[in-house]
Structure formats: structure tokens, C-alpha cells
Amino acid sequence: MIVYVRHNTRRKKEFRLLTTIEKEGNTLFTYKKAAVKESESFLLSLLDKYRYLSGANFPFRVLKPEETSQGIKFHYLNAKSLDALLYEAIQSRSKTRVLQVFLDYREILDRIPTETTTLGNGEFEEYFGKEKNGGSFECLRIGCLDLTLENIFQDGKDYCLMDYEWTFEFPIPKNYVIYRSLLLAYSKYFPNRLNEILPFEEVAKEFGINSGEKELYLNFEWVFQNRTHKNVLPFNEYVSAHEPFLQSRYNFPTLADKHDQVAARLEKEIAEKLQLMEKNNALQKEVQEAAGEIDRIHASVSWRITGPVRRARVIAHRFFMLGRKFRTASLLLLVSSQKFRKRCRESGLLESIRHSVNFVGKNMASPGEAMSAILAEERNLELYQQWIATNESLDPEKIQAEIENFAYKPKISVIVPVYNVKLKLLNECIRSVTSQYYDNWELCIYDDASTESNTKKCLRKWSSYGDERIKVRFGRSNMHISGASNEALKMATGEFVALLDNDDVLAKHALFESVKLLNEREEADFIYSDEDKLDLKGRRCNPFFKPDWSIDLFLSAMYTCHLGIFRKAVIDRIGGFRKGYEGSQDYDLVLRVIKEVDERNILHIPKILYHWRMLETSTALNSPAKMYAYEAAVAALNDYLRRNGIAGEAVHDSSLGFYRIKYRIKGNPLVSIIIPFKDKPGILKKCLESILQKTGYGNYEILLVNNQSRKRETLEYLEEIKNNGKTRILAYDHEFNFSSINNHAARKANGDYLIFLNNDTEVIDGNWLENMLQHAQRKEVGAVGALLLYPDDTIQHAGIVVGLGGTAGHVHHGISVEDPEYAGVMRVARNYSAVTGACLMVKKDLFFRVNGFDEKDFSIAFNDVDLCLKLRELGYLIVYTPYAKLYHHESVSRGYDMEMAESNPERYEKFTEEQNRLREKWAHVIMHDPYYNPNLPR
């Protein structure tokens, strides 16, 4: 079974290898395979390189290859690399520990025999170019370029070299190998502030590398990349792109990946898909039968007569779930069963039902819509139960065996503040902890001066059972949830803290899954999981399948929520919970946590591990129940902005529980709007006039790029608008190539920011430009996309998911913008892996840093996705904002893809080629888009 694949498509064919990790029985093996026929000889050279290294008295172990019919096979090395040790040292923020890793690395290289020689060697020059000064260098006799921190593993008391495909039988300057490894490390760990802990110049000086050598070694590296890779930047741009600790690497090959994490996810996906395939037919039949039965019941006379009586209370609560279509104050009156009963006494049952239905009719499209929505929710509930049965088959024996094999078994302190909770719910909450598969936990319960004696009696009973892991303290005065949570924290002795509300429930495998992840990623500081809710009957419903860490979504909503597990040292460092933020105390906590930790240490478990109770007084069921919580959330967000020196303001969004950050625009930068077109003057006119008449932000220019227009009406329209003061007309007299056309215009643009805009778009919201600019100006943002609607107000674009549909697809495509189920997530800013080039903003200098759109490989399709993924590779965020809203008459200019297949087979073939090229180039991203939950359909 293949559990991991890595393929560097940027290499030239003769060097292109495919790396896989494969499971054979219970053993993992690493394979290197020829990705194309041309690279077979390079693959087989690994055997010769191993023999050369083994026979050259190499001072430490080299991973032994074995030739098989599938390729070259290695035993999987389960050890820590020097790079992993460096990462741990960075997390400790200890300059001494970081320096020690580099000193250990130097000590390892010092073991390799050296000789002082010149570099006037034909073989050396073939790969690294000429050394023009003719000086002598201390060179490694064994010329292995792969002696980097990422490839040297600490295997017990010895070291092992994992990768050695770039091994040469001629000397290579020792300082070049060192400088190359340092460059990779500082580029990679720029977000971790490695340079702030230990400046690059200090390390270079420690290794005896002077400024003159740096340029020489960069030149060696540039020649090497040109020899082995395609599409390498010119040298001056290459140097700029690889400036250590300022930019992530751009053209270096991928040297290390998160093997274990990817392998675990792939194994899970494969197992789930096999189960789904086996059960699919039976489930479909069950769904059809259930839907038919519901329809028959709904059509029956008895349903119409007795249904309202049996379901009056359930209907009321369902109305709560459709709250966005109701007026909150009136809804609260309707849901009160006491008032409903009073009306029944005064007016009779039928009149009361008629009154309720009329109320619904005033607040929804029709009374029938309410019943349809309720029935649809019932079907969803049944479907979710089937999903649970298919995806959550737990094997206790297997889980216990895994726990026994854990190398790392940290104690987890479960924090539960308690106040006047119903005994049944409190008992279920506590029992969900005591029944955990993973048993190295402690339960820290603090009673916040409950006035209900039964609550305290229940807690004393649990405390009397003699389980030392259950700790209970009773407060004398009510401190509210923040104060009570801090008191519970004082009792915690675990390395990690889990937050649990006193009426909610943990899944039995919640702590097991968390510790399982910690064994793979011990450096984690904050872990969150997917969640669902328990309705008033205790049934699981409303699953929330979350994306991996998305800062912009988090600033729009407290989406990480439950289950949340935190490293206690971090919680202690920030001082725990803050009073005055009750109702949003968890949100405020995480907003302070993320300032203290590296984003790569915020991990997501895509499994339902927490069940959130829906009560009439909780926000899980009744959003307006705790309005103070939403005010506290806005206050916490504004505190976050102030702490981080971000100019802007947090405000409520149109839906409760969602927020908007209004970033303040710095200065008055010029924005260049680039619109390619070919004829169709009516479409172009609508687009242009909507910009000129509606756009509120004034400092922009419009570059119309004429791609071989021939019609007289087009030429007349261009003559008419050429002197409007905002518009320049550029000619592109070549065959259609979307990437080339836009790159050509970008080079002519005067603005600091570029917007690539289709000619078949139309501005709706006059603030569209400034709302995109708010995000584009942020230093961490690479590209910004807009909300694009079809003329019927259904969604054309609200973000792109890589892997959706096999390549890349528009999420929420075709859904009404007013849909109550999805409106929340569509109406807030969030991160995606890509946004559409039909309306995309990017900084001009950043656009050219990644070589703009790829004119060769993506001339007509997927150029926008490729651009965004190049920016993501450099560590930049892609932001979707719904506050820039336009109509998009999609493909009016180019034609739909299937229509293109009939009308222009040659272009459609090109489209298919580019689709396959995207799959090949970005296979590792397509396999798992971090902004899309793996439980959702692809």
C-alpha cells in the first residue's frame, strides 16, 4: 500500500525521480522510482553511489539500497534528522541549543576527509560552472551535495545519511556544502524567527564563510539548479529570491516532508473509501426507503391531523435552527411552549396551529418552506447517523494496542468549570472523561459556587470514588466562567490542557486521537478537532467538519472551538483566561495563544471528538441567547488587533457569531486593473462602466488588453473611451494565451497592486476595490479573490479547493448566496489554497517574484490556481473576501469547457493537457488541501 508520494516536477526529465513510502505488511519501505523513462539511468546510479560511499571510508552509515522490479528500495528510517533537532531548538527559543545543532553538524562534516585543491575540473564545471579566480579551496574528497541538515539522521549514537543522489566522484568545496545547508535552514525556518534567535551572519562567521564566498556559492547553486531543473530564474532574481531568512526557497527541490502525518491521513482515507465502496449500495437503498416512508407519512391524513400536536415543540426548535430567516424577538415568543399552551386554552388547538403557520408565512417564503426545511433536517439527521455508522467503527483492542506502543504518553488535564448544571448532563459529561480509552488524564472540576445543592452532591459523589485523577474543588463565591476556569487550571498538573463544558461530552477516543497526533508531532502547542451537536433528545446532529488552521477564518469566527487542547506552558505564559470576556473566553484565549506559538504547531484532527449540547439557553441552539458573548468576541478581536499592531477594527458581521476585520489602508496606492478582451464590445462596455460608475476607491488605472479584436464596433468603442482619463489600451497581437496576455499587461502597469479582471464581470458593490486592497496590503497575503455571482445570485466563485473534482473546483458553486445553511461561511473572509483569476488582486512585486502566470505550462487554464500555489509555496496566504462582490457572466468570452470540446477541439485538448499538468505539478497539494476537510466530498 502506497502511503506517501513525492514528485519534483520541476526537475529536468533525466533527473526526475518519484519517491514513495509503501507499507508491506507491518513494515514501511522508501522507494525511489524513475518518474519518466529518461531518468532510469539516474535512478540506477544510486547503486553505484552507495558502493562509492561505502568504499570510500565514509565516516557514518549510509542507507543501503536494494534493486527491485519497482525501483530502488530502502528500509524506512525511523529516526530524527538534524533538521528536526534544529526545529526543536527553535521552539525552545534557546540560542545555545540552536548553535549546538549547527556545531554538531560541523563536527559531522569535519569527520569527512578533505583536500586543498583548485576547481578547474571539467566535471565540476559541468554541474557548478567555472570558478574564475582560480583559487584553492578546502574540499570534501567525497563530493556529496546532499550533506544537509535534513538528510543526516541521528540513529542511536551514530549518524546515517538518508539521501545521496547528488554524490560526485570529484571534490566539492566544504564551505559550499555548509553554506547551501545553512541557506536551506534559514529559508525554511524564516517564520520561526530563526534569524532572530541566531543571526545568519553569526553562523556564517562561525563556519568561516565570508561575504565574497557567499556570492560564489550562490553562483554554484544557480548553475546547479539550471543544470538539473527547468524554468530557473536569472541569477540576479535568483539571489533575491533566495536571500536567507527573507524569502522561502523558490527553486530548491523539496528535501523533506511530513511523512508520518501524510501517511496517517492517506491510510485513513484509503480505509474509509474501501468501507464506503462496500456499503454504498446498501446505504443508498436505505436512504431511498427512508425518504419514501417520510413522504408517505407526510401525505397521510393522520399526519396532517396529529402531526402539529406531536411535533409542536420540535418544530419550535427547528425554527431556531433557521434563525437567520426569522426576526429574533418574534421567534422567542413562538418557541415558548408555555405561550403556545396558553393560546391553545384560549383559542383552541386548530386556531393556535393556524396562528403559528401564519407567523411562519410572514417570515419565510411560504409555510410549506418551513415544513420542507424541517423534513430535510430530519433526512439529514438520518444520513448523519449512517455516516457515523460507516466512519466511526472503533476497535477497542486495536486502540489499546496502539496506546501501549506510544513512545510519548503525556498527561492531559481536562478542565471543567461547573455551575448549576442538570445532574443527568453533568454525569454524562464526567462519564465521558472516565471512559476514555487513553487513561493518562486528570479531571479538574471547579464548582463556581453553585446554588443547586444537587450539583454539589453529585460532584462530592464522584470525588468519593477514590480515583485520584478526579479532582474537585468548591468555590465560595461566584467567579463566572473565566475565573472558574482559572481556578480549575490551578489544579492541573498535565503537560496539556483540554477544555470541556459541564454539559458537553467527549468522544471515547478523543484523548487517544490527540495523543496519537502528539506522538507524530510532539512539538504541537494547540490541537483542535471536528465536532457535532447533541439535540434535545441526545441525538448527534449538525457535524462541523473544519479546515486546518486558517487565520482569516478564525478572525471571522471562533471555528476551532471544540475540542481544544493546549500546551499548559503556553496557557500559563499568557496568564490563562481573562475576566470580562465571558461567553467568548475561549475565543480570547486562542487569540492570545496564537501570538505565542508557531502556526505550524497548530494542528487539526479531522475527526468528530466533541459533542456540544444544544440547550434552549445555549448558543448551540439559540444564537441570541447570550448576546453578551458576541460583544465580548468583538472586544477580544479588537484587543488582538491592538496587541499585534494591526491598523483596523473588528465589527459584527450580518450573522451572529461572525465578524469582520476592517483593515485600514496604508496611504493611497495605485491599483492597476488589467482586463484582456477580444471583440464583444457590449460585454466590455458593461464591465468598464460598472467600474467607472460604482468604484469608490479613486486611485486606479484600467489597462484594456486588446487580443486581436477585428470587429468595427469594437474599434469604434475603443476610440470612444481612449481619452477618459482612467483607461489605457494595450495591444497584444498574438494567439490567445491568457498567461502571456496578463503578464504583458502587468509589465506595463504603473500600480503597486494588480487586479486581473475578466471582461465578462460587472461590479455590484462600490467598495469592492478597497475591500480587496485591505487584504492585499497585508505583508503575509499573496493574493485576494472576490465573491462572484451569476446574474441569478447563485455563486460562481467563493474560493477554490485544490483536489475538488480531481483537480481544482469552486466551492459552494451554484448555491444561492442567500442559502441559510452556507451563508455564514460564504459571507466572511477566509483562506483558500487558490482563488479565481477572473478577479484576483496581488502585489506587483510579488507577482513578478514568482514569475507571474506560467505562459508555457498553463496558457489557457489553471494559471490562476498555479499562481496561487506558487505564492502558497513561498508561505503567503490566499484570502477570499465576500465584501468584494461582482457578477460574473462566466465563460461568455471563452465558452464553457464542454461547449469548447465541440466547437474548438484543439483548445479543449490543450485544456485537458494543462489539467493533467496541474495534477502532476501539484500532486502533493491536491492530495490534501489544508483548507478543505477530508471528510467532505471531493
Q: Which pLDDT belongs to residue 903?
A: 55
Residue 347 pLDDT level (bands cut at 50, 70, 90): low
Mean pLDDT score, 365-375: 47
Nearest CA to 394 out of 382, 403, 405, 406 is that of: 403
Q: Which pLDDT belongs to residue 817?
A: 77
pLDDT digits (tens, 9 = 90+) for 41-99: 899 999 988 888 887 777 888 888 998 888 899 888 888 889 889 888 887 888 889 99
Q: Which pLDDT belongs to residue 359?
A: 42
Task: Compare 850 and 328 and report the one with higher pLDDT.
Answer: 850
Maximum mean pLDDT: which of 124-138, 421-435, 881-895 = 421-435
Q: What's the CA gap between 248 and 229, in Å, rounded?
A: 18
Q: What's the CA gap between 740 and 754, in Å, rounded?
A: 15
Mean pLDDT is lowest, of 74-88, 841-855, 857-871, 874-888, for: 74-88
Contacts of 401 (CB under 8 A, 6+ apart): none
Task: Compare 538 and 231 and report the one with higher pLDDT.
Answer: 538
C-alpha cell at 36: 519518466
546, pLDDT greater than 70: yes
Q: What is the pTM of this model?
A: 0.63
861, pLDDT greater than 80: yes
pLDDT digits (tens, 9 = 90+) for 777-829: 999 999 999 999 999 888 999 999 998 888 898 888 888 877 655 545 678 99
Q: Which pLDDT belongs to residue 6?
A: 74
What is the DSSP track for 19-56?
EEEEEETTEEEEEEEESSGGGHHHHHHHHHHHHHHHHT
Q: Which pLDDT belongs to residue 617?
A: 53
- DSSP-derived letter for residue 324 is G
Mean pLDDT is lowest, of 19-23, 101-105, 560-564, 676-680, for: 19-23
Residue 367 pLDDT level (bands cut at 50, 70, 90): very low
| Average pLDDT of every residue of the chain | 83
pLDDT digits (tens, 9 = 90+) for 468-517: 999 999 999 999 999 999 999 999 999 999 999 999 999 999 999 999 99
Q: 3-class DSSP state for residue 293?
A: helix
How many residues can be counted in the chain? 938
Question: DSSP alpha helices (H): ranges in 93-210?
Answer: 95-110, 122-128, 174-188, 194-197, 200-206
Q: What's the CA gap between 447 and 443, in Å, rounded?
A: 13
Mean pLDDT score, 247-265: 38
183 cis-preceded (ω within 30 degrees of 0):
no
By percentage, how much of the chain surpasses pLDDT 70? 80
Q: Which pLDDT belongs to residue 321?
A: 43
Q: What's the CA gap between 378 and 491, in Å, rounded?
A: 43
Cβ pair 410, 496 in contact under 8 A: yes
Q: 3-class DSSP state for residue 787?
A: strand
Q: What's the CA gap between 702 and 727, in Å, rounded?
A: 5
Q: Which pLDDT belongs to residue 316?
A: 42
Nearest CA to 771 out of 846, 695, 858, 871 is that of: 695
pLDDT digits (tens, 9 = 90+) for 633-671: 999 999 999 999 999 999 998 777 899 999 999 999 999
Q: β-strands 800-802, 795-797: how paired?
A: unpaired
Q: What's the CA gap between 2 and 4, in Å, rounded?
A: 6
pLDDT digits (tens, 9 = 90+) for 267-300: 565 556 556 655 665 655 565 666 556 556 555 5
Mean pLDDT score, 672-699: 94
251, pLDDT greater than 50: no
Contacts of 82 (CB under 8 A, 6+ apart): 101, 104, 105, 108, 149, 150, 152, 153, 154
- The answer for 420, left when phi > 0, alpha when psi is -120 to 50, beta otherwise, is left
Q: What's the CA gap between 531 and 546, in Å, rounded?
A: 8
For 128, half-sphere exposure in the C-beta direction (CA atoms, 13 angstrom radius) is 24
Q: What radius of gyration, in Å, describes the C-alpha atoms of the chain?
A: 31
Q: Which pLDDT belongs to residue 366?
A: 44
Cα dihedral 21, 23, 28, 33, rounded to 10, equals -40
Q: What's the CA gap between 555 and 831, in Å, rounded?
A: 11
237, pLDDT greater than 80: no
pLDDT digits (tens, 9 = 90+) for 107-148: 889 888 899 988 877 888 888 888 877 788 899 888 899 999
Mean pLDDT is lowest, of 262-271, 766-775, 879-888, for: 262-271
